[in-house]
Amino acid sequence: MVSDWEARREICEIGQRLYARGFAAGNDGNLSCRLSGNVVLCTPTLICKGFMKPDDLCTVGLDGRQLSGRRKQTSEVLLHLEIYKADPAVQAVVHCHPPHATAFGVARVDIPTCILPEVEVFLGAVPRAQYETPGGESFARTVRPFVGKANTVVLSNHGTVSWGPSVERAYWYTEILDAYCRVLLIAQQIGNVERLPHAEVRELLDLKQRFGAGVDPRQAGGELCVNTSFGRPTGAGAACPGAPPAGGAGVSP
């Protein structure tokens, strides 16, 4: 685990990147980092993520109680804590509103898979959680089914949340997802969104495991291609050889 000071510095730096990329307008978004098994460093409420200073941050326990800080903890801290409690290996969480990925959440369209190699390796299937009013326990619980199976989730009508071994890595997942969603939307405007054959996708999932990025749940028999109808003409049939019927990796809207 990183030191308190290093975690503060990294959160402020990533906050600047979120703001610069347009992923967190105004006081949107929140970031956190695990300092110990039961203590989490997080951003405060009502602060622009692009202009934070290390001493703006606060610490909270896994029970949600604020332990230190001159500012009040983020109102969405329960979302972060739900993820930390579900997986002790998670060291950082980033929640924000990247516009292209959030657009999929607003449209309640599941992120399609089997299209870009980098996405298959670094993200895999990105589930979509059902909508709940932000900030409460019901909202936090919407991501619980996906912890341990994914590293990034689209929050219906809200934004995204990513987690990983560091704040920067969790941010990377967010950035990769939004860039991917932008490509999907542009490709859809150009014409058909073509899929990779199943055999090619399985090669990528094997590569993912060799890179040390873990075993993709789809290797254990899960649905390989998600939302095969995205970017395809009506009645065009399967988007890639052996693709299952159109479906989703998340929950019904």
Distance (Å, rounded) from C-alpha 240 to C-alpha 66?
A: 50
Pairing of strands 58-61, 39-42: antiparallel
Sign of the alpha-carbon dihedral angle for 68, 69, 70, 75: negative
Checking 46-49 for CB contacts under 8 A at 24+ apart, the result is 46/72, 47/71, 48/19, 48/24, 49/15, 49/16, 49/18, 49/19, 49/24, 49/96
The 10s digit of each residue's pLDDT in 175-218 is 999 999 999 999 999 998 999 999 999 999 999 988 887 788 88
Any alpha helices (H) in the chain, and if so which ranges? 4-20, 77-86, 99-107, 117-122, 137-141, 167-190, 198-210
In degrees rounded to 5, what are phi and psi of residue 128?
-120, 125
Q: Residue 251 has what pLDDT?
A: 47
Q: Residue 217 has what pLDDT?
A: 87
Q: Residue 142 has what pLDDT?
A: 98
The 10s digit of each residue's pLDDT in 81-109 is 999 999 999 999 999 999 999 999 999 99
Contacts of 140 (CB under 8 A, 6+ apart): 78, 79, 81, 82
In order of their start, the domains of the chain are 4-190 (3.40.225.10)
Distance (Å, rounded) from C-alpha 136 to C-alpha 116?
A: 35
In the predicted model, residues of the chain with pLDDT beneath 70 are 234-253
Q: Residue 236 has what pLDDT?
A: 64
List beta partners, residue 32: 42, 93
Q: Residue 245 has what pLDDT?
A: 42
Tokens, residue 120 = 């298959």
Distance (Å, rounded) from C-alpha 104 to C-alpha 152?
A: 14
Pairing of strands 92-96, 66-68: unpaired
Q: Residue 253 has what pLDDT?
A: 38
Tokens, residue 117 = 């190699």
